Amino acid sequence: MSVGLLPTDISSKFPINKMAKSKISRPVKSRSYILIIMLSIGIIACSKSKSVIPEPPVKTRPTNLAQYNLVTEGLKDYYTSNEYFNLGAAIKPTTVDNPDEVKLLKRHFNSLTAENVMKWSTLQPTEGTFRFDDADKIVAFAQANGMQVRGHNLCWHNQVPDWIFKDGAATASKELVLQRLRTHINTVMTHFKGKVYAWDVVNEAIADGSDTYRASKWYGICGEDYIIEAFRAARLADPAAKLFYNDYSETNPTKRDKIYTLLNKLKGLNLVDGIGMQGHWNISAPSNELIIDAFDKYKSLGIDIQITEFDVSVYTSDSDSQSPYSTDLAQKQAVAYGRYFSLFRTYKNNISSITFWGLADNYTWLDNFPVTGRKNYPFLFDESYNPKQSYFTVINF
């Protein structure tokens, strides 16, 4: 029956034009009007009931920039925390003042790391003088936008003041150095307690060569004890925080096994919760086999895995000369990103977070390391904050 029209038999029996009005008895007219009203009410009721049925949410997965600009979803929507892992970025305090970068952060990420301003040289440049302003700015932004914060880092051989290792003109004793380490960790973690859910407690303590530990000032004065004491102080300062050991070349078999041994010792003391695999990789390495072997080795300890400083360099060697970001290079990088994220998805039950060591290609530490002044393009977003082919590869799975 056509919506809004009377049935044919009723219309033929009871035409309601002006000529017929006088011929229709009053009771018949009343029945016709009642029927019309009932039909109208039914039609309106049906239309209203249909309008309140919610449409199922649709997550579109763009494959190019034009489509990307028509949707609002980002990385954190395609890789939800519940099903996959957190997606994070390392930022500077000035990032939260840049509208373009803030827009990118809010769309794609649910975790933040302070690139430099939570390191010792910034937080406590001189003994007893703590400066939290820049770090507080990043934490406040994260809290205001429902993002988690990873703390990076509490003990490292770089960006650490020399006063820690001195007692006047002499070298400080082991006891004094460890006391300063405990004080720093307790003060910093207490300040951020309840705001920072995880910390890279010790960073890059394992040697690259045949030695077990890096020949740092920490190790020269304290031996292995500085690592144990750092984690012990962190556990006491904030028992709820997740504690990580963080390092690079974490898939290299020789270094991987040394990291595993340290983690096993810390796990036996109930002092570590996870491994921070930095993930400074490139368009050709590491291989799937090396990554899988590392994931399997670390997860066998029953600890969490996080990729903490992820970027994919377009250069495979320190001797590579600077290259423009060509279509060919973009495609190679997209293939690499696709390969790495495929592995991340496979190990989603073991990996809780992927943090990029930057936001977009306009700024990356790789522009000055390992080759000073060699422009690199390691992220999913270009210098204008637009998604690259690597982005579309990562989200279309």
Active site residues: 204, 309
Distance, in Å, from the CA atom of 163 to the CA atom of 245, rounded to the nearest integer, reads 24
Work out the angle at residue 315's Cα, subtended by the Cα atoms of residues 309 and 318, and round it to the nearest 5 degrees: 95
What are residue 203's DSSP bridge partners?
246
Please work out, in degrees rounded to the nearest 5, the angle formed at the alpha carbon of residue 337 by the alpha carbons of 331 and 342: 130
Alpha carbon dihedral 357, 262, 347, 276, in 10-degree steps, equals -10
Nearest to 85 by CA among 151, 152, 141, 148: 148
What contacts 349, CB < 8 A, 6 or more positions away?
none
Tell how many helices (H) and how many strands (E) occur in the chain: 15, 11
CA distance 94 to 389: 27
Which residues 6+ apart lie within 8 Å of 344 measured at CB?
84, 85, 307, 351, 354
Cα–Cα distance measured from residue 89 to residue 108, given in angstroms and rounded to the nearest whole number: 9
Number of Cβ within a 10 Å radius of residue 196: 24
Distance CA 247, CA 250 (A): 6
Q: How many other C-beta atoms can be found within 10 angstroms of the C-beta atom of residue 111? A: 24
